Amino acid sequence: MCLRVKNHVILDCEHTGKEVEILVDGKVIKAFEGEPVLAALLNAGIKINRYTVKRKEPRGLFCGIGQCTDCAMVVDGKANVRTCITPVQAGMVIQTQDGLSKGE
């Protein structure tokens, strides 16, 4: 998976997924099926994925490979989903995560 890099010297980053819509904090955004949720969010200008528990500080893309959890969000009611390694599916409902959200 690539973060919408179109030409890369090593990776094959051609997007073949069809364009779909996902809902992010109540707003509809366009995404490509199969691309990382985080790629669609960044393309839509959304850079904050969660807020920390104690200080309520914003967090977003850091490692991009599923190791740090800074991109965790509530996806389809499930909290702590790492959006950098979660593929887009049509109709996903995504929410910014506040602290240790338990989802729904």
- Helix (H) or strand (E) holding 30, with range, is strand 27-32
What is the spatial distance between Cα 65 and Cα 90, in angstroms, rounded to a whole number? 22
Q: Does 53 bind ligand FES (CB under 6 A)?
A: no
CA 1 to chain centre: 12
| 35 touches ligand FES by CB under 6 A | no
Nearer to ligand FES, 18 or 47 (CB): 47
Radius of gyration of the chain (CA): 13
Footprint of ligand FES on residues 64-103 (CB under 6 A)? 64, 66-71, 82, 84
Under rule CB under 6 A, residue 50 binds ligand FES: no
Q: Tell me the closest approach of the beta carbon of residue 48 to ligand FES, in angstroms.
A: 12
